[in-house]
Structure 1
Amino acid sequence: MAGMEDVEVVVAHHGCATLRVGDVFLKIDADQTRTDVEVEAMAMAPIPTPEILWRRPPVLALAALPGTALGRLGEPSTTSPAAWAAAGAAARMLHDAPLPPWPGRSLDEIASRLDGECEWLVTNGVLPADLVTRNRRIADAALRPWTPVFTHGDLQVSHVFVDGDEITGVIDWSEAARGDALYDLAVLTLGHEEHLGDVVAGYGAPVDLDVIRAWWSLRSLLAIRWLIEHGFDPSSPGCEIDVLRSRM
């Protein structure tokens, strides 16, 4: 029919999917708790977020952001150092904002899950034991007390949109919570180590680079099983398994 918009499946896996119809994104999630968090976090965030057009559970309709993603994991970024610095500055604004009312994961929860994932990776022959052991040791540096801040929780490059050198918005807030500021910076620069200096410069506060690198290992170890089980390939060039190998 004339005038009908194409429907694009942006991402789809067990429990949730995101569709694009023209300039509208439709997020469908069986777990409305995640959507509750996303809506409240966007309302609280001091940085640009997508406009909520309507919500009719299990669907949340969001307006598309202008610009393009800062980058993609596994692909060289074509955006400017200034845009990466702007992403660091946006992260700092978020971290300086009042804390959300809900907690994040505790150190004990993260450490327990990490041990379980490492055991699964070795037992199932997904990765060599020495690669897992080395990165598990590196990850220990991230497992230290931190002062909680308002974190996005999944601040990967594909969730940050830019137009030229300016941030136009950040998407996908369902994992927002109180957490470690350096975790957000690590997720943002995962697989893009060459832009870590730009992000830190934009962030404008002292950071422990060894802890960021520890979060790279920890994030990758935690993600691999989920990615495999949901149809993604963490062994693609530049992705999680390459990140772990680079720590060797």
Structure 2
Amino acid sequence: MADVEEIEVVVAHSERATLRAGDVFLKIDADQTRTDVEVEAMAMAPIPTPEVLWRKPPVLALAAVPGTALGCLGEPSVASTAAWAAVGAAVRMLHDAPLPPWPGQSLDAVTSRLDAECEWLVTNGVLPTDLVTRNREVAAAALRPWKPVFTHGDLQITHVFLDGDEVTGVIDWSEAGQGDALFDLAILTLGHEERLGDLIAGYGADVDLEVIRGWWSSRSLLAIRWLIEHGFDPFAPGCEVDVLKARM
């Protein structure tokens, strides 16, 4: 730490911030419950995760994981077919692991949030009514009872790191808990639908594509207001609004 020449702001908004100082990431979170979940989930996960260096609330210090991210939302993933399959195999290991002791979101809670966000998007003129209505219909396929598994809960493509075709680390576990396996697969391929087959090949199980599409729509509808209010752009090419338009 003493030799660090500059501090990089990885992400910062009113709820949390992540800074990088050399090979150390400093996560500052106003909600220590999220940090509790992150630390415990990383300790339980059977796949590579960042090393916890120290914790002094509200700061959690993590070692950087080696490798590069699987990709970025809005940009094509240059990772190989084998790399995507390796990620699928790692996700399957997570889903086959013992359940964490804390629950995830209930079906009723997800449905209620989704309906509220759809109403907000239409009432405030953020998106056309027909776009919201169509995607709410698509999302219905995901809103069914599921067998809970150990899920990451926010398995964005930028949260998975590889060295070549080997998974070297999965980061940002604050949303981990008991959840739907297909939710993780959907979030990982959001905006990268063409790589779903590669991911599933490594995952090694049949999946319901209608449910995956439902989670793509649900996740995008749920995220747009938060992204706008925190300074992000869901209208950028390849991002959440384009994901919704693809369902039309």
TM-score interval (norm. to shorter): over 0.9
Equivalent residue, structure 2, for 1:212: 212
Q: AA paired with 1:120?
A: W
Matched residue of 1:91: which SS? helix
Q: AA paired with 2:119?
A: E
Equivalent residue, structure 1, for 2:33: 33
Q: AA paired with 1:55?
A: R
For residues 238 and 135 of structure 2, the distance between their equivalents in structure 1, rounded to whole angstroms, comes to: 16
Matched residue of 1:19: which SS? strand
Percentage of matched positions with identical amino acids: 81
Stretch of structure 1 that moved more, 183-192 or 79-88: 79-88
| Displacement of 1:4 | 3.8
For residues 161 and 4 of structure 1, the distance between their equivalents in structure 2, rounded to whole angstroms, comes to: 23
Deviations 1:153-204 (A, max 9, x none): 0000000000100100100000001000000000000000110000000000
| Displacement of 1:53 | 0.5
Equivalent residue, structure 1, for 2:175: 175
- Preserved CA contact (<8 Å) 2:65 2:161: yes
Q: Moved runs in structure 1, 4+ residues, more than 2 A? A: 2-5
Deviations 1:103-139 (A, max 9, x none): 0111110000000000000000000000000000000
Matched residue of 1:143: which SS? coil
For residues 139 and 15 of structure 1, the distance between their equivalents in structure 2, rounded to whole angstroms, comes to: 27
Q: Structure 1: which 5+ runs fail to align?
A: none
For residues 220 and 143 of structure 2, the distance between their equivalents in structure 1, rounded to whole angstroms, comes to: 15
Q: Structure 2: which 5+ runs fail to align?
A: none
User: Is residue 197 of structure 1 aligned with residue 197 of structure 2?
Assistant: yes
For residues 26 and 175 of structure 2, the distance between their equivalents in structure 1, rounded to whole angstroms, comes to: 18
Q: AA paired with 1:213?
A: R
Report the RMSD for the aligned CA atoms in angstroms: 0.8
Q: Report how many aligned residue pairs link the two structures.
A: 247
Matches within 5 A, 1:51-130: 51-130=51-130
For residues 165 and 4 of structure 1, the distance between their equivalents in structure 2, rounded to whole angstroms, comes to: 30
Deviations 1:58-88 (A, max 9, x none): 0000000100000000011111111111111
- Preserved CA contact (<8 Å) 2:32 2:58: yes
For residues 3 and 147 of structure 1, the distance between their equivalents in structure 2, rounded to whole angstroms, comes to: 48
- Could you state the TM-score of these two structures normalised by the residue count of structure 1? 0.98
Matched residue of 1:142: which SS? coil
For residues 138 and 14 of structure 1, the distance between their equivalents in structure 2, rounded to whole angstroms, comes to: 32
Equivalent residue, structure 1, for 2:44: 44
Equivalent residue, structure 1, for 2:221: 221
| Displacement of 1:210 | 1.0
- Preserved CA contact (<8 Å) 2:4 2:21: no
For residues 139 and 8 of structure 1, the distance between their equivalents in structure 2, rounded to whole angstroms, comes to: 37
